[in-house]
Amino acid sequence: MNSTVSLAFRYMESDYVRALRAHYGSRLHLRFDLAVAILVFGFGLYLWQSPRSYWVGVACVAGAVLFSLMLLAAFTIIPRLAFRRESKFRDEYFLVFSPEGIHFRTAHIDSQLQWSMYSHVLIDAYSYVLYYGSRQFTVIPKRVFQSVEQKQIFEQLLTQSVSAIVRQDT
């Protein structure tokens, strides 16, 4: 069986948006954060009723609303803006994955990368997010694989080459 996977693709906005949402989802504790925001909001409404605690209540309500808006922006607005702002996402990507490393080529890049560059991988329902820093990553959309076999070979290469793999696709 050939252990090389060749991919050619252009990113779609939805590829990057979904991957960035998965990234944020893996870093943030969304349910906990929303629960805290709701509790602080409710506590703020309670304090708002008291003349002594009026300003503390207003501050709690404002803080909870601001925090909720920040979470909303992180999952809706920021991913789209990040994609549209970055010109590299408009290039065509040619990637060859093998046990020896990754040949990464675009109109602006022609590089041979070692697997050791990647510290961990996040796999969600739509993509593979290969991290080479705490906030830097390469997105490989699942839609670009030509066959199930090609995707399986790629996953074997990931398992053999990257130490930490986190799945969110189930």
DSSP characters over 50-82 = SSSSHHHHHHHHHHHHHHHHHHHHHHTHHHHHH
Are 78 and 98 in the same domain? no
Are 43 and 103 in the same domain? no
Of the candidates 161, 134, 159, 170, the one whose C-alpha atom is nearest the C-alpha of residue 23 is 134
Q: If pLDDT is split at 50, 70 and 90, which confidence band does 135 have?
A: confident
Query: Each residue of 69-125: pLDDT tens digit?
Result: 999 998 899 999 999 999 989 999 999 999 999 999 999 899 999 999 999 999 999
CA 96 vs CA 70, 89, 101, 121, 140: distances in Å: 38, 18, 8, 17, 12
Are 107 and 71 in the same domain? no
Helix or strand run (H / E) with residue 129: strand 127-131
> End-to-end alpha-carbon separation of the chain, Å?
27
Domains contained in the chain, number: 2
Are 113 and 149 in the same domain? yes
Inside any domain, residue 158: yes
pTM as predicted: 0.83
Determine the pLDDT at residue 156. 94
What mean pLDDT, rounded, does the chain reach?
92
Are 162 and 113 in the same domain? yes
What CATH number is attached to the domain comprising 146?
Answer: 2.30.29.30
How far is Cα 36 from Cα 160, in angstroms, rounded to an integer? 40
> What does DSSP assign to residue 99?
T
Contact present, 94 and 106 (Cβ < 8 Å): yes
Give the domain range for residue 100.
5-10+89-167
